[in-house]
Amino acid sequence: MDPFRFAIAAVPLAAYLALLGLINLRRKPLVTSGASDLAALGIALTGVVWIGPLELFRPEAATAEFGNYIWPILIGFYWLWVALAVLTSRPRLVVYNTSAEELRPVLVEAVMPLDPEARWAGDSLLLPRLGVQLHLDEFHLMRNVSLVSSGGRQNLESWRRLATSVRRGMKSLCVQPNPRALGFFLLAILLFGGAITHLLRHPQELAEAIQQVFAYGAA
């Protein structure tokens, strides 16, 4: 792969991995919505999508019509798909840098003021007054836990209240930094360093790649 395309793919992904590393170094768990989590991943994959599907399936007629403006149009089209996926995704909360065992007592305290009728069944939680039903989905490798909605009938406003209550409860929880954070940083450094080194060592290939990519619009 030429240095220009490699940098386009690697740099956003390296930034995403570095962000994961910072999150997992925290001694406080981070609570985020599933929509934000999905949007961050979609942005991180922008470069990969650009040099892959967008370039491969770039419509020739549109390229001839719009010239080099075809690239921001295609990137914008991809982001619209990411936005659609975010808006239509089921309610979900992601708690980074914690385990289900650490999260569950905090979650019990967080939901009781919201719904005293809350009932547990294994890893599933029903909040009848709020109109929320969820289950815990633990990802051991990444050391995070997702609160995933169960069933199609969910009260979105209640999910926002639940997120606020969980964030408030997490302020009192202190955890050990995730050792895998070093792995995220290492991958980020390798990708970013590899991209910069490749660019500096092959200036002629870089110039040719840039010319080739943006010459498509003039074809």
pLDDT digit of tens for each residue in the chain (219 aa)? 677 888 889 999 999 999 999 999 988 899 999 999 999 999 999 999 988 888 777 777 767 777 777 888 889 999 999 999 999 888 999 999 988 888 999 999 999 999 999 999 989 999 999 889 999 999 887 889 999 998 777 888 999 999 999 999 888 888 888 888 999 999 999 999 998 998 888 778 777 766 766 665 444
Only one residue has tokens 């419509």, namely: 59
Query: CB-side exposure of 51: number of CA atoms within 13 Å?
Result: 18
Pair (14, 85) in one structural domain = yes
The total number of structural domains in the chain stands at 2
CA 163 from centre of chain: 18
CB-CB neighbours of 204 under 10 Å: 8
Pair (170, 181) in one structural domain = no
**Rounded Cα distance, 163 and 117, in Å:** 18
pLDDT of the residue at 73: 86
Pair (51, 118) in one structural domain = no
Pair (137, 154) in one structural domain = yes
pLDDT of the residue at 5: 84
Which of 159, 174, 189 is where one domain is finished? 174
Name the residue among 173, 94, 101, 172 with its Cα closest to residue 134.
94
Structural domain containing residue 190: 1-27+34-90+176-219
Pair (86, 184) in one structural domain = yes
pLDDT of the residue at 212: 66
- The dihedral region occupied by 97, where left means phi > 0, alpha psi between -120 and 50, and beta the remainder, is left
